[in-house]
Amino acid sequence: MKKIQPSLDQQDIICAETPAPPNAMVVFGASGDLAHRKLIPSIFNIFAQELLDEKFYLLGCGRTKLTDDDFRETAKQAIQESHSGASAKDLIAFAEKLYYIEGDYDDAAFYESIKAKLVLLDKKHKIDGCHIFYLAVPPLLYTQIVEHLGRSTLSCAAESDSRQRARLVIEKPFGRDLQSSTELNDGVSRCFDESQIYRIDHYLGKETVQNILMFRFANTIFEPVWNRNYIDHIQITMAESIGIEHRGGYYDKAGAIRDIFQNHMLQILALVAMEPLALFEADPIRDEKVKLLRSIRPFNLDKLDSFIVRGQYGPGAVDGKQVAGYRDEPDINPQSKTETFVAAKLFIDNWRWKDVPFYLRAGKRLAHKDTEIAITFKQVPHSMFASVGLDDMPANILVLQIQPEEGLSLQFQAKRPGSKICMSTLNMNFNYKSVFLVDMPEAYQRLLLDCMVGDQTLFSRYDSVEIAWQLLMPVLESWENDDSAPYEYPAGSESFPQADKLIESDSRKWRKLAEI
């Protein structure tokens, strides 16, 4: 175990990081945008921190014609764009671990070539560990590639040693509805066991998201009040100031429900609300998440607008610049009814959370980028300061900030210097970067290392994916059968009246998006 000891003023903290065992990664779509922006720079980070086994190698697979040297040069460029301080020595050493093979994803001969190449590279690098197959390709290619991996026996491995078993990493979306998700899972499961499948959701690799369980279950001062007796409501916000960028073709077929709610939102909700577990291990954690998701109350379709509303951004201004409306974006149908904003009110029907509302909202082209979880506690039952005008005491609020800066804050009441009764709301803030004096690691870095180690804790199991689709399919079907369009909101706004009504009808308000 490699020991990392950040020195803090408050105390010394010892962290144990497990280096990756010997293995090799095979990346389909290695010449694409995801590999260039995220995967290769993240794997380089693992290498630079001496957590990558020296025998490791990466075989890139793609339809673009490249030599090994061409691929290495593009990899160096990707790393330098992401890490301006990368040393020339590290770049050269890392590039020597990279190889490339070109072919057609639907050609059986391509997979035989991959298989032969892996035999040679395993021998060269003295690898006796597993092969990790990463599908950095459009979802429509998943089943095709997996079937070829099965036919070529690349998905097979010795059953006696789980460390030797091949692993498969697939990116979300895991289908676009319940039927396609089931079909995808059936296709993947014919060649890979669930224990070999790593469904990656990059949000779960973010430090503050990982910290939710630590924060809840490692501190006795919070868990006793983490329930309906003390919490008034919880808000989860995922606001983006950007539009659809260059993803118009994908986004117009997906929308905010499929792109954000079905995965990121519900996975974070599960972490916030799940029950304690006996062991901090992958399956117990994922079991509790599934139990929680099963407890979410189905939407009342007869009163759907009282529980979930959709919006679509129109023309407006963001950061002082005029921007186009969604229907005027490239590759978007001018009559599109795709939602770019969703606000929902959920209830969890179990002992802990009975009648506590969870307000969720996610949207594009909003005033600020802000992803946070805000837990608002109940107000004091009686104010002893009513005689001096303090009869309505503000509630305590705990905020877990995920983006753009990661941290925690606790809002509480305290006396200020001055007159006998001079009280105000104070914020106790904790910022990861300022305390630990390091940049937050890329989410993919955490997830890729976990995959190499064989830890599935932060990866979605299929039953949780299925339950999420079962919850949202009635909403999607209702919208698809409805002639109405999403409510329009101006780009650069924080919300719109119908989304406000969702929470204000309960005498509450959305939190103002943080300007950070």
The string of pLDDT tens digits covering residues 103-137 is 999 999 999 999 999 999 999 999 887 899 999 99
Q: Helix crossing, 266-273 with 462-480: angle to 10°?
A: 130
Inform me whether the pLDDT recorded for 2 exceeds 60.
Answer: no
Residues 326 and 408 in one domain: yes
Question: Can the peptide bond before residue 173 be classed as cis, meaning omega within 30 degrees of 0?
Answer: yes
pLDDT in tens, 267-308: 999 999 999 988 888 899 999 999 999 999 999 999 999 999
The answer as to whether 405 is a domain residue is yes
Residue 76 to residue 79: CA distance in whole angstroms: 5
417-441 average pLDDT score = 71
Residue 41 to residue 448: CA distance in whole angstroms: 11
pLDDT in tens, 144-165: 999 999 999 888 654 445 556 8
Core vs surface per residue 64-93: b (16+ CB within 10 A) or e: eebeeeebbebbbebbeebbeebeeeebee
Structure pTM? 0.89
The last residue of a domain, from among 150, 171, 192: 171
Residues 116 and 251 in one domain: no
Strand segments (E) across 185-302: 197-200, 231-239
Domain, as residue range, for 56: 2-171
Residues 97 and 210 in one domain: no
Inform me whether the pLDDT recorded for 1 exceeds 60.
Answer: no
Quote the number of domains for the chain: 2
364-379 average pLDDT score = 93
Of 83, 233, 264, 368, catalytic:
264
Position with higher pLDDT, 247 vs 366: 366
CA 335 to chain centre: 30
CA 204 to chain centre: 4
The answer as to whether 180 is a domain residue is no
Active-site residue flag, 264? yes
Residue 343 has a pLDDT of: 97
**Cβ-contact 146, 168 below 8 angstroms:** yes
| Closest by Cα among 412, 332, 411, 399 to 364 | 332
Residues 458 and 357 in one domain: yes
Residue 6 has a pLDDT of: 41
Rg (CA), the chain: 24
Percent of the chain with pLDDT over 70: 89
The answer as to whether 228 is a domain residue is yes
Residue 202 has a pLDDT of: 84
User: What are the residues whose beta carbons fall under 8 Å from the beta carbon of 79, sequence distance 6 or more?
Assistant: 40, 41, 44, 86, 91, 94
Residues 287 and 400 in one domain: yes
Residues 82 and 225 in one domain: no
In sign, the C-alpha dihedral spanning 219, 403, 270, 343 is: positive
The answer as to whether 182 is a domain residue is no
Residues 81 and 30 in one domain: yes
Residues 149 and 214 in one domain: no
Residues 161 and 209 in one domain: no
**Cβ-contact 336, 326 below 8 angstroms:** yes
The answer as to whether 371 is a domain residue is yes
3-class DSSP state of 7: strand
| Closest by Cα among 10, 375, 359, 360 to 216 | 375
Could you tell me the CATH number of the domain that includes residue 431?
3.30.360.10
pLDDT band at 262 (very low <50, low <70, confident <90, very high): very high
Inform me whether the pLDDT recorded for 8 exceeds 80.
Answer: no
Residue 422 has a pLDDT of: 67
Residue 388 to residue 392: CA distance in whole angstroms: 11
Could you tell me the CATH number of the domain that includes residue 58?
3.40.50.720
Kindly give the residue spans of alpha helices, DSSP state H, lying in 49-161.
68-82, 88-95, 108-125, 142-151
Position with higher pLDDT, 206 vs 104: 104
According to DSSP, the residues that pair with 197 across neighbouring strands are 168
230-253 average pLDDT score = 92
166-194 average pLDDT score = 91
| Closest by Cα among 340, 498, 401 to 510 | 498
Inform me whether the pLDDT recorded for 317 exceeds 90.
Answer: yes
C-alpha count within 13 angstroms, C-beta hemisphere, residue 13: 8
| Closest by Cα among 363, 397, 407, 422 to 511 | 397
The answer as to whether 510 is a domain residue is no
Residues 134 and 234 in one domain: no
